[in-house]
């Protein structure tokens, strides 16, 4: 009988833990395109997976899209949803592709406290892939916002003329 009490305590702790996890999952956003992590892993490159699915950050100045200013549209690298237009891109000097606005409705926002303070996290509204963050130090003459985006999360589609 003495052994039964610690056993029961363990069971109780485990059940408590699992119900808390269920609650957390229910609060998660749902996306039009949903895949298992294994499916994403098979489709994306390691770098894309790290940024889009694990909310990682690419090294600054590492993306060939950083200094790209051709006319076109930047799509989500995971699901091909158009996210940013070239006319809204600017050189922020940070080393990451930067835009003063996104294509409305195609991105969604969350909060990220990973590095100790709250940042506005930005992700694809269709597949939930992490893109980057939004800061308030963008060009004052337009929106004042800086969408700081990982180039690896984007696919550039040049405009047809």
CB of 35 to Zn ion, least distance (A): 11
CB of 155 to Zn ion, least distance (A): 10
Which one from 76, 79, 124, 148 is the annotated catalytic residue? 148
Residue 35 CA: distances (Å) to CA of 11, 126, 128, 138: 32, 12, 10, 34
Residue 68 CA: distances (Å) to CA of 27, 63, 73, 109, 150: 38, 10, 11, 25, 13
Specify the stretch interacting with Zn ion by CB under 5 A; choose among 56-64, 72-80, 87-95, 136-144: 72-80
CB under 8 Å, gap of 24 or more: what pairs does 29-32 form?
Answer: 29/108, 29/110, 29/128, 31/125, 31/126, 31/127, 31/128, 32/126, 32/127
* 44 belongs to the binding site for Zn ion (CB under 5 A): no
* 76 belongs to the binding site for Zn ion (CB under 5 A): yes
* 102 belongs to the binding site for Zn ion (CB under 5 A): no
CB of 145 to Zn ion, least distance (A): 20
- Strands (DSSP E) along the chain, which ranges? 72-76, 82-85, 89-90, 98-99, 107-112, 119-124, 130-135, 146-149, 154-158
CB of 126 to Zn ion, least distance (A): 5
Interface positions, 113-132, toward Zn ion (CB under 5 A): 124, 126-127, 129
Q: Catalytic annotation on 148?
A: yes
* Residue placing its CB nearer to Zn ion in the complex, 125 or 148: 125
User: Residue 67 gets which letter from DSSP?
Assistant: T
* Residue placing its CB nearer to Zn ion in the complex, 81 or 150: 81
* Residue placing its CB nearer to Zn ion in the complex, 77 or 148: 77
Q: Which residues lie near Zn ion (CB under 5 A)?
A: 76, 78-79, 81, 124, 126-127, 129
What residues are labeled active site?
A: 148
């Amino acid at each position: 009988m003495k052994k039964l009490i610690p056993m029961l305590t363990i069971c109780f702790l485990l059940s408590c833990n699992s119900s808390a996890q269920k609650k957390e999952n229910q609060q998660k956003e749902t996306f039009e395109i949903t895949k298992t992590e294994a499916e994403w892993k098979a489709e994306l490159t390691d770098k894309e997976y790290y940024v889009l699915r694990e909310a990682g950050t690419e090294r600054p100045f590492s993306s060939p899209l950083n200094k790209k200013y051709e006319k076109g549209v930047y799509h989500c690298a995971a699901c091909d949803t158009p996210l940013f237009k070239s006319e809204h891109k600017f050189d922020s000097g940070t080393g990451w592709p930067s835009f003063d606005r996104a294509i409305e409705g195609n991105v969604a926002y969350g909060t990220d406290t990973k590095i100790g303070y709250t940042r506005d996290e930005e992700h694809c509204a269709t597949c939930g892939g992490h893109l980057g963050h939004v800061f308030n130090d963008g060009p004052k003459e337009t929106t004042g916002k800086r969408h700081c985006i990982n180039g690896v999360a984007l696919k550039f589609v040049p405009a047809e003329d």
